[in-house]
């Protein structure tokens, strides 16, 4: 699974369920940027990646496909 699919899955699994616009507001991004990342058309900036990892409590290695373990390092 690639970054785009992982981001979409994390967003869809949020409680309460969150759409792209709402996620964009939480992450201080616009809906188009979220949509383009979920479609694999663009990659997140380093700061975007940090913000996404922090929000979802997952490691960057997980989002980048370097591990299947979503847990951040201790």
What are the chain's domains? 3-63 (1.10.260.40)
Write the CB contacts of 53 (distance below 8 Å, at least 6 apart in sequence).
59, 60, 63, 72
User: Full-prediction pTM beyond 0.85?
Assistant: yes
What tokens were used for 7? 């981001």
Which candidate, 20, 52, 73, places its Cα nearest to that of 63? 52
pLDDT of residue 34: 97
pLDDT at 71: 80
pLDDT single digits (tens) 17-74: 899 999 999 999 999 999 999 999 999 999 999 999 999 999 999 999 988 877 876 6
Q: Return the closest-CA partner of residue 57 out of 19, 22, 16, 13.
A: 13
């Amino acid at each position: 699974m690639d970054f785009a699919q992982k981001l979409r899955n994390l967003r869809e699994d949020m409680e309460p369920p969150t759409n792209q616009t709402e996620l964009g507001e939480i992450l201080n991004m616009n809906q188009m940027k979220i949509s383009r990342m979920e479609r694999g058309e663009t990659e997140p900036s380093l700061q975007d990646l940090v913000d996404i990892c922090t929000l979802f409590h997952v490691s960057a290695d997980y989002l980048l496909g370097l591990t299947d373990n979503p847990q951040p390092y201790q």
